[in-house]
Amino acid sequence: MSTHIGAKPEDIADTVLLPGDPLRAKWAAETFLKDAVCINEVRGMLGFTGTWNGHRVTIQGSGMGMPSLSIYANELIRDYDAKTLIRIGSCGAMQTHVGVRDVVIAMTASSVGNPSRAMLREIHYAPHADYGLLRAAHDAAVARGTKTHVGGIYSSDTFYDERPDLHEQMVRHGILAVEMEAAELYTLAARHGRRALAVLTVSDHLVTGEDLPAIERERSFGDMVEIALQAAFA
């Protein structure tokens, strides 16, 4: 076990899906994995391991924001030797051609700063996805007929952002959507030589104000999980 994950080393699969919400981890495990077993309950951040099409998969909650994600990703890599880490979660659209319910596959993840900033110092490092995972995810989305966008996203440090000027610049520079974790995940994966990707469902729109009704979220999130699983084992 590690500081924040109570699993035994053999309990964690090489492939880990990382939803922010621990209850979403429970839902995804019960919905998509066979013989899923709860392997972590420390601090209520639930984790489960089971199989998908014969492949072992762990789905571990990572919390909200880059500092929380950094804790779980670091421990999964350093203490459990996870090889592939895929964030599955929601995002807010920032372009008019990106709609609610669409899936966004993050090629790059910009940020004002992340927990790795102190290490990189003056370098403006550009965190990016693993190309093999990204290509496989796009292929899976096309095969499913899911409306999907591939490009840059913005990982924000704050949920209640009071910087409209920053928002405007993200839109101006073609950022597809905003979320709060991917930039740190991509940076950690690069540092440790692992594969990482973020597959996101658009749950609301920062430009139009549209919001995905709660009753429809489960169906849309299901597409995202399936795409992530297919990409991991393509």
Indicate if 204 belongs to the active site.
yes
Q: What is the residue type of 138?
A: H
* Nearest-10 Cα torsion for 184, 63, 93, 201: 110
**Residues comprising the binding site?**
4, 20, 24, 43, 87-90, 179-181, 203-204
Smallest Cα–Cα separation from 65: which of 178, 165, 148? 178
Query: Tokens 């990707």 map to which residue?
Result: 197
Question: What's the rounded Cα separation, in Å, for the pair 16 and 83?
Answer: 8
**Residues comprising the binding site for phosphate?**
20, 24, 43, 87-90
178 has which bridge partners?
A: 92, 154
In the set 130, 161, 204, 223, the catalytic residue is 204
**Residues comprising the binding site for a purine D-ribonucleoside?**
4, 179-181, 203-204
Catalytic residues: 204
